[in-house]
Amino acid sequence: MHSMIVPMGQHQLPKLAYAYNALEPVISSRLLQIHHDLHHKAYVEGLNKAELKLSEARRKRDFSLIKHWERELAFHGSGHILHSIYWTSMAPLGNRWETPGAQTIKHIMSYFDSLAIFGEQFTEAAINVEASGWALLVWQPAWGRLEILTIEKHQDLFQAGGIPILVLDVWEHAYYLDYQNKRKDYVTAWWQLVNWQDVERRLMLAMQAQMPLS
Residues at the contact surface with Mn ion, assessed by CB under 5 A: 169, 171, 174
Residue 6 CB-half CA count within 13 A: 14
Contact 199, 137 (CB under 8 A): yes
CA distance 104 to 66: 40
Q: Which residue number, 74 or 205, has a Cβ lying nearer to Mn ion?
A: 74
Minimum distance, C-beta of residue 83 to Mn ion, in the bound complex (Å): 6
Contact 97, 200 (CB under 8 A): yes
Minimum distance, C-beta of residue 186 to Mn ion, in the bound complex (Å): 12
Q: Which residue number, 122 or 134, has a Cβ lying nearer to Mn ion?
A: 134
Q: Which residue number, 50 or 174, has a Cβ lying nearer to Mn ion?
A: 174
Contact 174, 186 (CB under 8 A): yes
Q: Which residue number, 23 or 108, has a Cβ lying nearer to Mn ion?
A: 23
CA distance 24 to 178: 10
Q: Rg of the Cα trace of the chain?
A: 18
Q: Which residue number, 158 or 171, has a Cβ lying nearer to Mn ion?
A: 171
Minimum distance, C-beta of residue 169 to Mn ion, in the bound complex (Å): 4
Minimum distance, C-beta of residue 199 to Mn ion, in the bound complex (Å): 19
Segments in the chain forming alpha helices (H): 29-34, 41-60, 66-88, 102-112, 115-127, 176-179, 183-190, 196-206
Minimum distance, C-beta of residue 154 to Mn ion, in the bound complex (Å): 9
